[in-house]
Amino acid sequence: MFPYEHVIYFDRASKIPVYRQIAISITNAIRNGILKAETRLPGSRELAKTLGIHRKTVIAAYEELDAQGWITVIPRKCVSVAAHIPSLKPQKWIAGDIPASYENDLNLPFRIVEEHIADEDAGSVPEIIIDDGHPDVRLSPIADLLKTYRSLTSRKYAIKSAHTGTTQGTLSLREALVSYLSVTRGLNSSVENLLITHGAQMSIYLAAQLLLERSSRVIVGKPNYPVANKAFEEAGAKVIEVDVDDQGIDTDAIEIICGKERINAVYVIPHHHYPTTVTLNVERRMKLLELSKRFSFAIIEDDYDYDYHYGSSPYLPLASAHHRGNVIYIGSFSKILDPSLRIGFMVAPKNFVAQCMALRSVIDVSGDGYMQNALATLMNGGELKSHIRKAKKIYHRRRSFLDNLLKEKLEKYVSYVLPTGGMAIWIKLNPAFSLAQLALNPRLRISKIDKERNAFRFGFASLDETELEQAVGLLETGLQRMEGGVANQITQR
């Protein structure tokens, strides 16, 4: 008898119903030529006994296969593979020799996209992960957000609202954002100026695709957010790097470049530049806006962590000034609540938002309307404001705590400038020490390192004081070992 128990696979723990798994297994056996046209199949009772499952499960699988045309069922007589199955070369069944559906690479031509960032190793979880500036999700009101989400799925009006106009974002979230951005950032906008996206990166990508083409040039800071650079390159533009010093991007250099060649856009992170965390000063902000008007280029303003500033009140965004519609403002809730909560936004002129919607709909018809409305509920109820106020105090303490630890433990190994806000400190190792070697410690993972500058972002917001002590302790141990190695090399010479 044909060994069906070795051809039909199912996992009771799977989310896919067992009858569907059985139907898929039989379909694959037919496609692969293991079961050819008109092959008689065992009856439901017999197959159920062979597989050790309930007969009704087999009947459900056969009904599905019959409905799809893979088999022919003659009640109380027989079940067989359909006669009209395309002619396939019969294959002898060999245990363990069934090929996976996608075992082979695609042998047709397709475009290769160069990876910009290597995936982190998910195989092992170290004691401490130093991220590049994430919020502490343990503090976030995620439970309240999910509770609100669940409640919205059971209300008739809320269900309708979640499915209305979600290419641009639900009206309730856009209305809440208009008010929020006006109060916190001085942005004078309307719901028509807002586009809700799956995170800031989607906003950057959409802006790049519409503003840039093969002959375009975009200016970015050096160093810069690498994913943004990749988005501009994918749009076909030439990326021109301009140095970033302790006052932000060099606007005098931008002016010189604009005088020599046509610039289509300038990408800036004025609040806390990525990765160096420096803030663009007032004079350069004003000059950048003036240059945008004089040379007619767009400013793509990425304001990913505006809400966290620990000294005086933060500078208002460039988008809050009179800019003739030249500023595309981008923000995100990922840095407020949770990196996995992919809700970002873009503020731009209405005609630009309309085109972003048209482009977005090609690959992503809409966002999660329930989640957007749940977030709007938290904003309108004051929970988000309360969370930001609480988190800001905690992150401020953690920044100061890390500052003291670095001075106490690592002062001779590293250099840094304490940022006025944000969720990370940009740390440079002294030339005698290798960050790449330090990152090899299996007990510690540094998420993003800049090998060229021997530097990294030490995200402090997601780590409590005990975890910060552990992280600095592991760094200190690694650096001390390297210091010993350097001393030995000098002695041997």
How much is the CA Rg of the chain, to the nearest whole Å? 29
CA 209 – CA 234 distance, rounded (Å): 8
**Alpha-carbon torsion 360, 366, 372, 373, what sign?**
positive
pLDDT at 87: 53
Check: CB of residue 323 under 8 Å from CB of residue 289: yes
Instruction: Give the tokens for residue 338.
Output: 């949770």
pLDDT at 85: 72
**Alpha-carbon torsion 31, 33, 39, 40, what sign?**
negative
Instruction: Give the tokens for residue 92.
Output: 């002898």
Q: Provide the residue-wise pLDDT of the chain in tens; the chain has 493 residues.
A: 678 887 888 888 888 889 999 998 898 888 888 888 888 999 999 999 989 999 999 999 999 898 888 899 888 888 999 887 755 555 555 555 555 666 778 877 888 777 655 555 555 677 899 999 999 999 999 999 999 999 888 776 666 666 665 789 999 999 999 999 999 999 999 999 999 999 999 999 999 999 999 999 999 999 999 999 999 999 999 999 999 999 999 999 999 999 999 999 999 999 999 999 999 999 999 999 999 999 999 999 999 889 898 877 788 999 998 888 899 999 999 999 998 889 999 999 999 999 999 999 998 887 888 999 999 999 999 999 999 999 999 999 999 999 999 999 999 999 999 999 999 999 999 999 999 888 888 888 998 889 999 999 999 999 999 999 999 999 999 999 988 765 455 444 4
Helical pair 251-260 and 282-295, crossing angle rounded to 10 deg: 10
Instruction: Give the tokens for residue 73.
Output: 């069922």
CA 101 – CA 35 distance, rounded (Å): 16
The amino acid at residue 168 is Q
Check: CB of residue 429 under 8 Å from CB of residue 341: no
The amino acid at residue 290 is E
pLDDT at 493: 47
The two beta strands, 238-245 and 265-268, are unpaired
Distance between first and last Cα of the chain: 77
pLDDT at 204: 97
CA 378 – CA 388 distance, rounded (Å): 12
Instruction: Give the tokens for residue 323.
Output: 């800019």
pLDDT at 182: 94
CA 159 – CA 69 distance, rounded (Å): 36
The two beta strands, 238-245 and 424-429, are unpaired
pLDDT at 12: 87
The amino acid at residue 464 is D
Check: CB of residue 225 under 8 Å from CB of residue 304: no
> pTM of this prediction?
0.78
How would you write the chain as a 3-class SS string? CCCHHHHCCCCCCCCCCHHHHHHHHHHHHHHCCCCCCCCEECCHHHHHHHHCCCHHHHHHHHHHHHHHCCEEEECCCEEEECCCCCCCCCCCCCCCCCCCCCCCCCCCCCCCCCCCCCCCCCCCCCCEEECCCCCCCCCCCHHHHHHHHHHHCCCHHHHHHHCCCCCCCCHHHHHHHHHHHHHHHCCCCCHHHEEEECCHHHHHHHHHHHHCCCCCEEEEEECCCHHHHHHHHHCCCEEEEEEEECCEECHHHHHHHHHHCCCCEEEECCCCCCCCCCCCCHHHHHHHHHHHHHHCCEEEEECCCCCCECCCCCCCCHHHCCCCCCEEEEEECCCCCCCCCCCEEEECCHHHHHHHHHHHHHHCCCCCHHHHHHHHHHHHCCHHHHHHHHHHHHHHHHHHHHHHHHHHHCCCCEEECCCCECCEEEEEECCCCCHHHHCCCCCEEECCEECCCCEEEEECCCCCHHHHHHHHHHHHHHHHHHHHHHHHHHHHC
Q: Domains in the chain and their CATH numbers?
A: 4-81 (1.10.10.10), 142-384 (3.40.640.10), 386-492 (3.90.1150.10)
